[in-house]
Structure 1
Amino acid sequence: MSDVRTRVKVCCMSSADEVRTAISAGVDALGFVSAMPSGPGPIDEALIAELVASVPPPVSCFLLTCATDAPTIAAQVVRCGVDVVQLVDAVPAAAYAELRALLPHRVRLVQVIHVVDAASIDEALAAAPHVDAVLLDSGNPRLAVKELGGTGRVHDWSLSRAIVERSPVPVFLAGGLRAENVAEAVRAVRPFGVDVCSGVRTDGRLDAGKLRRFIDAV
């Protein structure tokens, strides 16, 4: 095993209490979900900006957006004050360079790839050179109402491992992770980091005990 520490990102932050709980547990990054076609955790941008302003460095703040055009995404990022934008849907190839031009230099780009089948490997490797990291999730953007994350489902980790082995940028793993399976996931995929939402919640709220067990398992 590598001695490089696997990073932990907790998504779907919804309150100051959740932010404090996650930071106290020692997470590396927090995810804030803006408006989505489906899935858990979206909150108003004004609340995202308020919560992000309370987060001390070096904890990173990710804005999850389903927007696909660069001006809309850039405006969201500026309003929310985050340092990472997580693109949960596919964007036009030209959008990456446009985002780089529109956003402050400190803002990093993370492209979500929903691992559905072997074609997802090619999709990830095509996006990777244009972003700072890739995040592998278990949604399905091919549905009439797109699933863009927060499904609580595990996908085929062998496909994720193939992406990790070939990606020129760091890869985060998401999708159905919890304390009971995250160690196996890390061994199987060897991601740079893991991302969790429902796996550390009880009745929709961040559960400090579940989060601690998750981090210990990682």
Structure 2
Amino acid sequence: MAVEAGVDALGFNCVGPSSPRNIGDSAVAEITKFTPPSVATFLLTVERTADAIAAHVRSTRPTTVQILWNIDPAESSRLADIEPHVRRVQVVHVESRAALEMIPIYSPYVHAFLLDSGQPNAATPELGGTGRQNDWAISAEFVQSSRLPVFLAGGLSPANVGDAIRQVRPFGVDLSLGVRIAGRLDPSKLAAFALSVRKADEALNSA
């Protein structure tokens, strides 16, 4: 359904049973095997060491790994060495302008950033899927400051993604809850989201 809607990537939430959208590694490996080459496959992992992340990658075979924790930069460097052919995306949660400090820390080791609205340091850590927008002003500053591509996530929907693209100017957008009903992908919401993205992109390119 997502591929037919024209998405550029599929994301696989492999964060464990605490998430209602968790998918098992064996299922991910089956899907990545048959995903069209033109569509990227993103593994969302909660692993924090290079060896553990690499093992997760090898068991699922995605094109990209999305690292949900702010891991030790030394581990990020090691991961780049042991999995050079897998694209690496570092998630940064925009809780304040301190998010900008992550740019020089991780830029040498990753291919892109993804800005989300979780609270990893809360008593009950949130690593995404909150349905909340982050501060788009800070996100826009992050995009302007980063030499790497930046994806935007957090509370996006067909109703607000056009404004998000115009204000933040991200490389791409990422969502989950905004196109679901009762936890399942909804065809009409997915189509509306894709249309909103295309319209916003066309407007920026023609400006």
**2:69 is the counterpart of 1:56:** no
Determine if contact 1:35/1:44 at 8 Å carries over to the other structure.
no
Q: Aligned partners of 2:46, 2:126: CA distance in 1, in Å?
A: 10
Partner of 2:164: 185
Q: Aligned partners of 1:36, 1:160: CA distance in 2, in Å?
A: 28
Q: 1:124 to 1:30 in 2, by over 3 A?
A: same
Deviations 1:110-160 (A, max 9, x none): 000011011111123422232100000010001122100111100100000
Letter in 1 for 2:71: V
* Gap runs ≥5 in structure 1: 1-20
Q: Determine which of 139, 149, 169 is the counterpart of 1:160.
A: 139
Partner of 1:89: 69
Aligned pairs for 1:139-178 within 5 A: 139-178=118-157
Partner of 2:24: 44
- Secondary structure in 2 aligned to 1:30? strand
How far residue 106 of structure 1 moved from its aligned partner, in angstroms, is 2.5
**2:47 is the counterpart of 1:75:** no
- Secondary structure in 1 aligned to 2:118? coil
Partner of 2:177: 198
Determine if contact 1:38/1:145 at 8 Å carries over to the other structure.
no
How far residue 80 of structure 1 moved from its aligned partner, in angstroms, is 0.1
Determine if contact 2:80/2:110 at 8 Å carries over to the other structure.
no
Letter in 1 for 2:5: A
Q: Aligned partners of 1:40, 1:124: CA distance in 2, in Å?
A: 31
Query: Structure 2-normalised TM-score?
Result: 0.92
Q: Determine which of 98, 104, 111 is the counterpart of 1:119.
A: 98
Determine if contact 1:138/1:149 at 8 Å carries over to the other structure.
yes
For these two proteins, the number of residue pairs brought into alignment is 197
Deviations 1:34-75 (A, max 9, x none): 124854411111111111112011100000001110100000
Query: Structure 1-normalised TM-score?
Result: 0.87
Q: Aligned partners of 1:38, 1:182: CA distance in 2, in Å?
A: 28
RCO (CA 8 Å, sep 6+): is it higher in 1 or 2?
1
- Secondary structure in 2 aligned to 1:94? helix
Letter in 2 for 1:115: V
Letter in 2 for 1:67: E
- Secondary structure in 2 aligned to 1:77? helix
* Gap runs ≥5 in structure 2: 198-207
Counting aligned pairs with the same residue, the percent is: 46
More displaced stretch, 51-60 vs 176-185? 51-60
Q: 1:217 to 1:191 in 2, by over 3 A?
A: same
Partner of 1:213: 192
Give the root-mean-square deviation of aligned CA atoms.
1.2
